[in-house]
Amino acid sequence: MSGEAPVTIDYRAVLNRYGAQIPRYTSYPPAPHFSADAGPALKQALFDGLVPHDPVSVYLHIPYCDKLCWFCGCHTKQTRRYEPVATYVDTLIAEIAATRSEIGFSPLLGALHLGGGSPSLLRKEDLFRLNEALRAAFDFAADAEISVEIDPSDVTADTLTGLRALEMNRASIGVQDFDPAVQAAINRPQTFEQTRDVVEELRSSGLCSINIDVLYGLPLQTPERLDRTVDKVISMAPDRVALFGYAHVPWAKKHQTMIREEDLPDSKARLADAARAAEAFQRAGYEPIGIDHFARHGDRLAKSARCGQLARNFQGYTTDRCSALIGFGASAISQFPGGFVQNIVPTANYREAVKAGLTTGDRGYALTPDDRIRGHIIARLMCDFALDFAELKRQFGADATSYIREARRHAATDSLGLVAIENDRFVIRPEAKPYTRVVASWFDAHLAAKAARYSKAV
């Protein structure tokens, strides 16, 4: 928007109109639109479409934690005993072997991600077993990215041995906030020293890149408390930072009712906190990536963002360009060019299905031509804050025309000053970046059709 004066956006007007709830668009359509009719058969059809030398990504979900944080929105369960975790690993191994048989060959693995829950609570012998099962079923690419979500309070020498055996080269470390009052309000005690020691241990091999997750919008989180957390995070020099807004969805996550609503910052405070934290990361040399990530200039995520190659999947922003993502474990989502399939969510039912040799695919969605184009538009807005009309035509030919018309219509009727048309591109104004999900939702044909409840737009 060269030469134009900055626009002041009335956040109240945006919230009044769109304040309800908007998806995070880690997929289009989002998971609440998956249906039970489309699950099991679709999974087989999607496996049938895999080809040997096309790399796939693999996601393993570990739905256990030794302690439950009250803010947590992930699919997980607290366990005080380790036995259920070891039994779950048996099930995962069985699912991986059964999937290998269904596919009929060992696909090339370009990326592996262990998420949860807390994969860092796995004991080394279970990490060894998973590693063996994965390497028997997949042909690991020499440069495969192997990433693991890590809760520093789990990490012992045993965990580190297991993670090294897995050849982990990317760790994503949960911090959220270092302030003791905030930590008490979210049931997550975690000292700076403990976190720094884990970061140093992981770095000592020289091969591991580090991401740190920080949350704003937490209960009792004052600007000063968040600023101190941000400074401490910067002092550990992570390669990447994810700065997420706390999504308060107590109707879906009962333990979030432990958080007192009166302790939560309002939308105005959340916007200010997000902006201040983003400025601090940028002052420290991080480049902003998409709506909620920061990365050092030389990091792959920053390079991808600079050349318009950033992608989005269920784990958020990624450099991963594999056309298929195979999810293992309870609730894990698989993503293929033709659609999505989510595994059975309740862990006990998932285990029963694997034991009985039945498909783990439960709910799914087969993409229509309209979904593909809208999914592309939403992904580009979430990744680049812009939609390039020439690129849309290059990808979708004559079919792009009506969507370009739709984008122009949105720009012409946008009374809130969120977007503009510039050089044959539909662009989110820099001042409107906090409302990117709102703009993306204009292209969501499913949103109005289903009253799914998402977290607040801001």
Q: Which residues bind ligand SAM (CB under 6 A)?
A: 65, 71-74, 115-116, 118, 149, 151, 174, 176, 213, 215, 244, 246-247
DSSP state at residue 389: H
Minimum gap (Å) between residue 141 Cβ and ligand SAM: 25
Applying CB under 6 A, which of residues 7, 68, 249, 272 lies at the interface with ligand SF4?
68
Nearer to ligand SAM, 143 or 193 (CB): 193
CA dihedral 347, 147, 279, 435 (to 10 degrees): -50
Asked if residue 440 binds ligand SF4 (CB under 6 A), the reply is no
Rounded Cα distance between 290 and 311, Å, is 10
HEC states along 88-121?
A: HHHHHHHHHHHHHHHHCCCCEEEEEEEEECCHHH
Q: Does 69 participate in binding ligand SF4 (rule CB under 6 A)?
A: yes
How many residues of this chain bind ligand SF4 (CB under 6 A)? 11
Q: Determine the interface stretch with ligand SF4 among 51-59, 62-70, 225-233, 345-353 (rule: CB under 6 A).
A: 62-70
In the range 167-186, which residues lie near ligand SF4 by CB under 6 A? Answer: 174
- Candidates 15, 50, 58, 72; binder of ligand SF4 (CB under 6 A) is 72
User: Nearest distance from residue 281's CB to ligand SF4, in Å?
Assistant: 21
Q: Would you list the DSSP string of 257-322?
A: GGS-GGGS--HHHHHHHHHHHHHHHHHTTPEEETTTEEE-TTSHHHHHHHTT--EEETTEEE----
Q: Which stretch binds ligand SF4 (CB under 6 A): 67-75, 89-97, 319-327, 404-412?
A: 67-75
- 8 Å CB contact between 310 and 383: yes
Asked if residue 412 lies in contact with residue 419, where contact means CB atoms within 8 angstroms, the answer is no
Whether the CB-CB separation of 28 and 371 falls below 8 Å is answered with yes
Nearest approach in angstroms of CB 58 to ligand SAM is 17
Binding residues for ligand SF4 restricted to 187-206, rule: CB under 6 A? none
Q: Is the peptide bond before 357 cis (omega within 30 degrees of 0)?
A: no
Smaller CB separation from ligand SF4, 73 or 338 = 73
CA pair distance 279, 288, nearest whole angstrom: 9
Which residue ranges make up the site for ligand SF4 (CB under 6 A)? 65, 68-69, 72, 74, 76, 116-118, 151, 174
